[in-house]
Amino acid sequence: MIKRKRTKIIKIGNKKIGGNFPILVQSMTNTKTADAKATLSQIKKLEKAGCEIIRVGVPDLKSAEAVSKIKKKINVPLVADIHFSIDVALESIKQGADKIRINPGNFPKEGLKTIINLAKKKKIPIRIGINSGSLEKDILGKQRRVTPEMMVKSALRNVKLMENLGFYNLVISLKAPDVLRTVKAYEMLAEKVDYPLHLGITEAGGEFSGTIKSAVGMGVLLQKGIGDTIRVSLSADPAEEVRVGWEILKSLELRERGVKIVSCPTCARTSIDVVGLTKKIENITNQIKKPLRIAIMGCVVNGLGEGREADLAIVGAGKMALLMREGKIVTKVKEKNKIFEIFCRELKRMV
Ligand code: SF4
């Protein structure tokens, strides 16, 4: 079992992160926030996929004004992502954002004070979001490449800035687009602060490479007990980010949700259509919320063992296909093409 690093508990709308609270999965919309209808529709889809905190980009006042309209109709906390504009930050808070994400160093001190005072009044946290791509020029100096040390320096500087203004309701992120820099930066920061950490490999890439990078990077950190909320960042449908985020947490047994599929890679011993069955079973189970372990195994070599550990399993057994439920063989069929139908009936009974 992974021992999590204890961090300060921070409340974000109707959710809490840090301490012993579950690591929450978040995502970000890619609609124009000012178009409240389109943004709402995307958030609804993301909520359904399992998104637990949603962030929206707020580039202007029109977008900030849409925040309250959106908030009224969603169930998850809304985070407003703001850069440079004090007015937009203030308006987003006034409109009911549950948290804002800023780079404090991008604001003049007086403006930052105003934002902090309003955040304090509304009891909302602020995420200090450090990205390697937008590091302060004085830290970067003449270097072309940002180092983890530079990112941590920037984060600590911003934390200090906020603390000196009497603000401690903080979450921190420290993202780079590659695994090693990001991991190193978070490891170093986790030693120095006890604020909750929002994990992510930023701009990780497309669905395939971004998923792998995110899983590797966040996996390493989460396994060390670092991280209180995660955002997978993909150049793809945000619903995919949520799906990947959940799979990362499920694979480390940090959270449970829905179906966990165990399926073999197939080989010369395979006696059922494992690939086709797995695809079909993934499709019909991706909306199930109840935690279930399902195994699809090509033969009895490992099939019976995996079937024993699964809630429901299909196992190829020479001329037959077996259906196992809670570790026991409940059906043996010679017409192997009927096994999917039988499986579906049993699944329906279970959920
Ligand atoms: Fe091959 Fe059987 Fe292993 Fe599947 S479970 S990969 S069919 S040996």
> Left if phi > 0, otherwise alpha if psi is -120 to 50, otherwise beta: which for 50?
left
Q: Residue 280: its pLDDT value, please?
A: 97
Question: Would you give the end-to-end CA distance of the chain in angstroms?
Answer: 27
Q: Residue 320: its pLDDT value, please?
A: 96
Cα 260 to Cα 65, 111, 244, 291, 310: the distances in Å are 41, 48, 13, 7, 9
Outline where 143-206 has alpha helix (H). 148-164, 179-192
Roughly what angle, to the nearest 10 degrees, separates helices 61-72 and 86-94? 20
Cα 73 to Cα 36, 63, 77, 250, 266: the distances in Å are 10, 16, 11, 29, 46
Q: Residue 232: its pLDDT value, please?
A: 96
Nearest ligand 1 atom to the CA of 270 is 7
Tell me, in angstroms, the distance from the centre of ligand 1 to residue 285's CA.
23
Nearest protein Cα to ligand 1, atom 2:
299
Tell me, in angstroms, the distance from the centre of ligand 1 to residue 344's CA.
23
Please list the ranges in the chain whose pLDDT falls under 70: none
- Is the Cβ atom of 307 under 6 angstroms away from ligand 1? no
Name which of 103, 93, 155, 82 is nearest 123 in CA terms. Answer: 93
Nearest ligand 1 atom to the CA of 264 is 4
- Is the Cβ atom of 318 under 6 angstroms away from ligand 1? no
What is the pTM (predicted TM-score) of this model? Answer: 0.91
Helix, strand, coil fractions of the chain, as percent rounded to 5: 45, 20, 35
Q: Residue 245: its pLDDT value, please?
A: 97
Domains of the chain: 10-251 (3.20.20.20), 259-350 (3.30.413.10)
Q: Residue 219: its pLDDT value, please?
A: 98
Nearest ligand 1 atom to the CA of 298 is 7
Q: Residue 128: its pLDDT value, please?
A: 96
Tell me, in angstroms, the distance from the centre of ligand 1 to residue 284's CA.
23
What whole-number distance in Å separates Cα of residue 61 and Cα of residue 346? 53
Tell me, in angstroms, the distance from the centre of ligand 1 to residue 178's CA.
35
